[in-house]
Amino acid sequence: MVLKWWLSASALLSSMTIVVVLGFLLQSSWPLIQQQGAAFIVGTEWYPFESLYGMLPALIGTLWSVTLALLIALPCGVAAAILCAELLPQRVRSTVRFAMELMAGVPSVVYGLLGIWLLLPLLESQLNLLTGRTLLAAGLLLALMILPTIMVLSEDAIRAVRQSQREAVKCLGIGWDATLWRVLLPQAWPGIRVAALLATGRAMGETVAVMLVVGSIDRIPEPFYNFLQPAQTLTSRIGREMAEASVASLHWAALLFCGLMLAMIAAAISLLTHRKAAAV
Amino acid sequence: MFRCWLSMLLFGVSLAGPLHAATATIKVAGSTTVLPIVAEAAKQYRVIQPGLSLTVSGGGSGVGVANIEHGIINIGMASRPLSDSEAQRLHTTTDVIPVARDAVAVAVSKAVYESGIQRLSLPQIAAIYRGEIRNWRELGGLDAPILVIDKEASRGTRHVFSSVVLGSARARAPGATIITGSNNEEQAVISRSDQAIGMLSNAWLNDRVRAVAVGDGENAILPTAENVASGRYAIKRDLNILVPKNSSDDVRGFVDFLRSDQGRMIVQAVGFHPVR
């Protein structure tokens, strides 16, 4: 009885928290919406001194850095997962997995510093860039950070494919390639999808590491797909400007609106994850 | 989202340092330009007053002013004068005390300096930051695009630089390539590049980060101590501390120490010019 009561109280409290958080974000950013309507969301100029709070540059920056990270980390992560789950002997497998779990535990600011001292000079010299602080740098760094999530969860999904199915395929004399493409990956796909969605959430919310390498300039790259230019993400903007905005000013409201947008995108992603997971 | 807050929180805590109270605690925060002076003074003052706990952290002038206004810290650091609205809110409660004079150097990478860019006029610098000049060749240097470094809008260095060079403390700089925060961050970018220009406090110049003379032809002035003291160098400012009028004796004691002869020596040792 007591246990049941405690369980439901905890569950209720946890779910209330998200309502409070979203409510706080909405309430705090309300003055901006009230004053400027919703047009600023697609505005291209962010300049707090002139009350210009265009969200588009940072939105595009966030979108690009996350897309790049997924494009890099998803194929690598899934490939590593296949290798670990199907081909490697047990001892090597656990070593790789341990390394991945360790990687997931490294604090993001460490990745940021690694980015500054290793990644940026490398990009500058190899691609002959004016500055290595680009969307590509952010994407590469984020890829490194979400790789463990994708790899570990995908491996679990592949290993969860029933042994009887593998045996059946073997009995039919089907080769390993076909087994992989026709049986293992389709069966594991829902799990891999969840891994990708979780990783997206993490990449989107990452602040410090991105802030250190993205260049932090509120400008849409020219042309917009040029990921070799410096840019801004929603999180790095909040990280850089939160301290300077005076509480309850319009600038403050705009920064919290950045937070609200991140929260809403994250909510959409987890709804998606939830539905896919339920469908499995 | 939550992760983002959490990392911000942790970041903030790590910046603020250990805030737990000893017997008496003086918290100082704000401009990273003023920080080396106060940090060194705090180190020496702890020897005189071992019972006192002094924590000095950065954040930028904007943070120093805002935190003093909110009563979070005991002494604020600002590398610019207060804006009109700030002065209006704070003038009855807070003293603005200059502790040093500093020049904002127009700093370029060593390679740029050695390719012949050793002086720039104010209109040339403005044209670079407005995006009208994009290649060092146009100024007589190597054929290389200019890496134009701007600073976060709340930074005192930017206020001073922008008001002298671009005509207003809040002017836009459409020519900027990237935005950096602290002096250290900007210094690192300039020293690792061969094409960079930026605005830096005098104390952060070194072999790889060189100051150009500012002005026309023979009248170009380098930000040396004499030129800053005489007022001939154009991009200059007072480095201030903000002290609430109702401060405790502990805080007053530290402020007096900063303005003493020993304090002046610290100012000079760190690379700034003391104020009489």
pLDDT tens figures, A181-222: 988 999 999 899 989 988 998 999 998 899 989 988 988 888
A113-122, A241-250, B213-222, range with the lowest pLDDT: A241-250
Q: What is the SS3 assignment for chain B?
A: CHHHHHHHHHHHHHHHCCCCCCCEEEEEEECCCCHHHHHHHHHHHHHHCCCEEEEEEEECHHHHHHHHHCCCCCEEEECCCCCHHHHHHHCCCEEEEEEEEEEEEEEEEHHHHHCCCCEECHHHHHHHHHCCCCEHHHHCCCCCECEEEEECCCCHHHHHHHHHHCCCCCCCCCCCCEEECCHHHHHHHHHHCCCEEEEEEHHHCCCCEEECEECCHHHCECCCHHHHHHCCCCCEEEEEEEEECCCCHHHHHHHHHHHCHHHHHHHHHHCCEECC
- Of A1 and A232, the structure prediction assigns the larger pLDDT to A232
Predicted local distance difference test score (pLDDT) of residue B5: 54
Q: Mention every residue, 6+ apart, whose C-beta is less than 8 A from residue B168.
A: B162
Residue-wise pLDDT tens digits, B178-200: 999 888 889 999 998 999 999 99
Domains within chain A, CATH numbers bracketed: 55-279 (1.10.3720.10)
- Of the partner residues B4, B62, B145, the one whose CB lies closest to the CB of residue A207: B4
Predicted local distance difference test score (pLDDT) of residue A272: 79
- Of the partner residues B7, B153, B170, the one whose CB lies closest to the CB of residue A207: B7
Tokens of B243: 């002290």
From chain A, the residues in CB contact with B66 under 8 A are 243-244, 246
| Mean pLDDT, rounded, of chain B | 87
Confidence of residue A278 (pLDDT cuts 50, 70, 90): low
How much of chain A exceeds pLDDT 70, in percent? 98
Predicted local distance difference test score (pLDDT) of residue B1: 45
- Of A231 and B19, the structure prediction assigns the larger pLDDT to A231
From chain B, the residues in CB contact with A259 under 8 A are 1, 4
Beta bridge partners of B54: B26
Average pLDDT of A150-158?
94
Residue of A nearest to B66 (CA): A246
Q: Given an 8 Å threshold on Cβ–Cβ distance, is B178 in contact with A230? A: yes
Q: Is B184 on the interface with A (CB under 8 A)?
A: no
Predicted local distance difference test score (pLDDT) of residue B7: 52
Average pLDDT of A140-150?
94
Q: Is B8 on the interface with A (CB under 8 A)?
A: yes
- C-alpha distances in Å from residue A93, one per residue of A150, A199, B67: 16, 22, 52
Contact between A191 and A153 under an 8 Å Cβ cutoff? The reply is yes
For residues A231 and A173, give the distance between their C-alpha atoms in angstroms, rounded to a whole number.
53
pLDDT at B175 over 70: yes
Predicted local distance difference test score (pLDDT) of residue B21: 42
From chain B, the residues in CB contact with A262 under 8 A are 1, 4
Predicted local distance difference test score (pLDDT) of residue B269: 87
Chain B: nearest CA to A129, how far in angstroms? Answer: 10
Q: Which of A51, A66, A131 to mutate to test the interface with B (most CBs of B within 10 A)?
A: A131
Among candidates B81, B16, B24, which has minimal Cα distance to B50? B24
Q: Is A272 on the interface with B (CB under 8 A)?
A: no
pLDDT at B136 over 80: yes
From chain A, the residues in CB contact with B147 under 8 A are 130-131
Confidence of residue A49 (pLDDT cuts 50, 70, 90): confident
From chain B, the residues in CB contact with A217 under 8 A are 150, 176-179
Contact between B160 and B237 under an 8 Å Cβ cutoff? The reply is yes
Residue-wise pLDDT tens digits, B15-47: 444 444 446 889 999 998 899 999 999 999 999
- The pairing of strands B119-120 and B209-211 is unpaired
Confidence of residue A140 (pLDDT cuts 50, 70, 90): very high
